[in-house]
Amino acid sequence: METKRPTNPAAEEILGGYFPVLDHGFVSLVDYMGSDEDVERAARVSYGYGTRKVSQTRGLVRYLRRHHHTTPSEMVELKFHCAMPMFVARQWIRHRTASVNEYSGRYSLMPLLFYRPDLDHFALQSPLNHQGRRPEHAPAELYKKVIEHWDRVRQEAADGYRWMVEEDVARELARIDLPLSTYTQWYWKIDLHNLFHFLTLRADAHAQWEIQEFARVMAGMLKRVAPLSYEAWIDYNVRAHAMSRGEMDLLRRLLESDAEGVRPRDGAESITLEDFKEFGLAPREAREFLEKLQPTDVPDYELDLSRMRSAEELAAELEEAVPGSFE
């Protein structure tokens, strides 16, 4: 059936397809409303859909992003179906700008699926980042012992859940000992502006690796819905950095500008970490400033269509994770 709604063929290609994330998770683009043209139409309050050149749309989209005019991008929405471990969901839900409907363990039986990190992503606590892990993986022997512990705890929790349900204990009580590694699901609908904010934080290398994996897949879906807005987000958010007052003062010390452009200031000397104190920058701020000046690669969020699976295939796997005695 034909539609009068604006669509994007690249988005239509993946609509309703499921992309695996982690060991049992997934992300699906269930629906979307609008694309780059709708951002432009909202900004211009225009009825001339399809009458402007792509270059004109691109120029306006980039101008809006560059100057933080956000309301036009709020007119585009994306709706996702996602499955993730509960500890990822608790990080995710901190972004309070979406409409969310989560799987109910009071109404439905919980599929007994648990997240298990592989050795490459099992690490010790970082001595610098108090909420993160070291970049290198922990010793394999420790990993083996932890896996044995997790398997034992999860098996006991799963057996307890199964037993209580069989004894007709209320599902809302039977579930309460399931660990944070248990998978949950939700429908998550968000506008384009707030999705950019979510992805900027959660696709960043400083975010927990597990939620980064979800953010990368969602960024690939966004790229297909609104490619010009995606490009502007990469240029003005992902590969760009805000500068503090101290950092701007520091750059002015090193550079001078006039009508001809910007060039090194005559007699400018290299600045050490100690010199940063003069500009009110703490050691951590100094390190972050230096990181901002390092060249960065363009992230590759392109979706691998060979990994896309059908809803029926995913549903069958979830049903298998609910023991037959629960039927």
Contacts of 93 (CB under 8 A, 6+ apart): 100
Q: Indicate if the pLDDT at residue 295 is higher than 60.
A: yes
Residue-wise pLDDT tens digits, 134-162: 999 999 999 999 999 999 999 999 999 99
Res 325 pLDDT > 70: no
| Residue 99, beta-bridge partner list | 189
Instruction: Please give the radius of gyration of the chain, using alpha carbons only, rounded to the nearest integer.
Output: 24
Q: How far apart are the first and last CA of the chain?
A: 38
Active-site entry in 175, 202, 216, 224: 202
CA 127 vs. chain centroid, Å, equals: 25
Q: What is the pLDDT of residue 105?
A: 92
Cα 136 to Cα 46: distance, rounded to the nearest angstrom: 53
The answer, yes or no, to whether residue 78 has pLDDT greater than 90, is yes
What is the greatest pairwise CA distance in the chain? 82
Beta strands in the chain (DSSP E): 18-21, 25-33, 77-85, 99-102, 183-191, 255-258, 261-264
The DSSP code for 236 is: I
C-alpha distances (whole Å) from 178 to each of 85, 112, 182 are 11, 9, 7
pTM for the model stands at 0.89
Encoded tokens for 118: 């592989």
User: 244: which 2 tokens?
Assistant: 């503090």
Average confidence (pLDDT) over 219-239: 95
Q: Are 323 and 162 in contact (CB under 8 A)?
A: yes
Cα 180 to Cα 85: distance, rounded to the nearest angstrom: 7
202 is catalytic: yes
Give the pLDDT confidence of 18-52 residue by residue, as tens digits: 999 999 999 999 999 999 999 999 998 866 655 66
Please tell me the distance from the alpha carbon of residue 19 to that of residue 224, in angstroms, as a whole number: 14
199-206 average pLDDT score? 94
Residue 327 has a pLDDT of 42
Average pLDDT for residues 167-194, to the nearest whole number? 96
The CATH number, out of the four listed (3.30.1360.170, 3.30.365.10, 3.90.180.10, 3.90.1720.10), of the domain defined by the range 9-111+183-239+298-326: 3.30.1360.170
**Residue 62 pLDDT > 60:** yes
Question: What is the pLDDT at residue 131?
Answer: 86
pLDDT higher than 80, residue 65: yes
Looking at residue 47, its pLDDT comes to 62
Mean pLDDT of all residues belonging to the chain? 89
Q: Are the C-beta atoms of residues 103 and 271 closer than 8 Å to each other?
A: no
**Dihedral sign (CA 226, 227, 233, 238):** positive
Q: Picking from 203-212, 267-276, 281-290, which range would have the lowest pLDDT averaged per residue? A: 267-276
What is the rounded distance in angstroms from the CA atom of residue 324 to the CA atom of residue 313?
A: 18
**Per-residue confidence at 248, pLDDT binned at 50, 70, 90?**
confident
Query: Binning pLDDT at 50, 70 and 90, where does residue 326 land?
Result: very low
CB atoms within 10 A of CB 309: 14
pLDDT at 257: 54
Range 241-267 average pLDDT: 73
Domain residue limits, the chain: 9-111+183-239+298-326, 116-180, 245-292
- Local confidence band at 293 (pLDDT 50, 70, 90 cut-offs): confident
Q: 87-141 pLDDT, tens per residue? A: 999 999 999 999 999 999 999 999 999 999 999 999 999 998 888 999 999 999 9
Measured distance CA(274)–CA(217) in Å, rounded: 41
3-class DSSP state of 195 = helix
Q: Which residue has the tokens 């969602």?
A: 218
- pLDDT band at residue 281 using 50, 70 and 90 as cut-offs: confident
- Model pLDDT, residue 216: 98
